[in-house]
């Protein structure tokens, strides 16, 4: 065997089956959807950008007001075990107040709200959306907090694609 696939980042199953000692990760093929087929994607070789044919929903969820920090794992759209830069469509909504949901990279951690984070300000009762890049940690986490309304807002995240330059 000259090449193979493994669901483990360290290729442990492939190495055990092939008898080889060394491996080199070339790229990721991700995600097996509910039909047990690989989710359709386009792979841009110039910058190793994996672009989903359809946006992948990470769902809508409640974001409590600061100082509470919400952790969101993006396991539906990003390979686990790798810190990657993803392109996300995010939105925020609060039905009774002006709201501001802040988003920041998983690599910064979730203990406190960083000075530099993406701020999505939504007018009263209106849902505002924007495309932002975020870097996940190895568990595919990003962080959010509501910093204006004083009560919980609703956030929604969709993943457009991710960059994985390990293959270059």
Tell me: do 47 and 120 sit in the same domain: yes
CATH of the domain at 151: 2.60.120.340
**Local confidence pLDDT in tens for the 168 residues of the chain:** 577 777 777 888 888 888 888 877 666 665 666 777 788 888 887 778 889 999 999 999 999 999 999 999 998 888 878 899 999 999 999 988 999 999 999 999 999 999 999 999 999 888 999 999 999 999 999 999 999 999 999 999 999 999 887 654
Largest Cα–Cα separation, the chain: 62
Distance CA 27, CA 87 (A): 18
Domain limits for position 142: 39-167
Tell me: do 153 and 112 sit in the same domain: yes
Domain count along the chain: 2
Tell me: do 113 and 159 sit in the same domain: yes
Give the CA distances from residue 31 to residues 38, 101, 146, in Å, rounded to whole numbers and listed in that order: 6, 28, 30
The model's pTM = 0.83
Tell me: do 24 and 43 sit in the same domain: no
């Amino acid at each position: 065997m000259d090449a193979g696939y493994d669901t483990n980042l360290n290729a442990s199953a492939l190495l055990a089956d092939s008898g080889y000692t060394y491996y080199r990760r070339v790229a990721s093929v991700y995600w097996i959807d509910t039909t047990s087929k690989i989710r359709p994607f386009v792979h841009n070789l110039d910058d190793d950008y994996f672009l989903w044919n359809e946006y992948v929903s990470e769902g809508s969820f409640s974001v409590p007001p600061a100082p509470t920090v919400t952790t969101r794992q993006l396991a539906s759209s990003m390979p686990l075990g790798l810190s990657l830069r993803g392109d996300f469509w995010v939105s925020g909504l609060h039905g009774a107040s002006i709201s501001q949901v802040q988003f920041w990279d998983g690599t910064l951690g979730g203990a406190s709200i960083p000075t530099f984070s993406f701020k999505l300000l939504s007018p009263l009762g209106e849902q505002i959306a924007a495309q932002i890049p975020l870097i996940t940690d190895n568990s595919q986490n990003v962080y959010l907090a509501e910093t204006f309304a004083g009560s919980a807002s609703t956030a929604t995240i969709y993943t457009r694609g991710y960059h994985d330059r390990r293959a270059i």
